């Protein structure tokens, strides 16, 4: 490989790295796990993985979760976003 080829490859890799960083910081992303569960990425260091029925139960309880958070706001900590 010539020096020009190496420079071009380095620039390509830098651009790819920047694109990956931007994609990661956009927010939430979802993926189906090997076992068929739904994994949500972007909430913390590790994904939150639940099966379909568990997600449906959780989403059906969204109002209860919001109420609980509101009623217990003084005892809950916030992570600086």
pLDDT exceeds cutoff 70 at 23: no
- Helix segments in 1-81, DSSP class H: 3-24, 52-60, 62-71
Phi-psi region of 27 (alpha: psi -120 to 50; beta: other; left: phi over 0): left
Structural domains in the chain (count): 1
pTM as predicted: 0.63
Report yes or no on 6 lying in a domain. no
Give the domain range for residue 50: 24-73
Report yes or no on 79 lying in a domain. no
Report yes or no on 19 lying in a domain. no
How is residue 32 written in tokens?
Answer: 């189906």
pLDDT exceeds cutoff 90 at 61: yes
Q: Are 13 and 1 in contact (CB under 8 A)?
A: no
Q: How far apart are CA 40 and CA 68, in angstroms?
A: 22
Nearest-5° Cα angle at 18, 14 to 23: 150
The whole-number pLDDT of residue 41 equals 92
Model confidence band, residue 13 (pLDDT cutoffs 50, 70, 90): very high
Rg of the chain over all Cα atoms, to the nearest angstrom: 20
Report yes or no on 57 lying in a domain. yes
pLDDT exceeds cutoff 80 at 38: yes
């Amino acid at each position: 490989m010539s020096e020009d080829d190496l420079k071009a490859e380095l620039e390509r890799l830098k651009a790819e790295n920047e694109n990956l960083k931007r994609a990661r910081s956009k927010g939430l992303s979802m993926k189906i796990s090997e076992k068929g569960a739904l994994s949500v990425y972007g909430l913390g260091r590790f994904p939150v993985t639940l099966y379909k029925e568990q997600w449906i139960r959780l989403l059906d309880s969204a109002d209860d979760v919001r109420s609980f958070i509101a009623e217990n706001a003084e005892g809950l900590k916030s992570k600086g976003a």
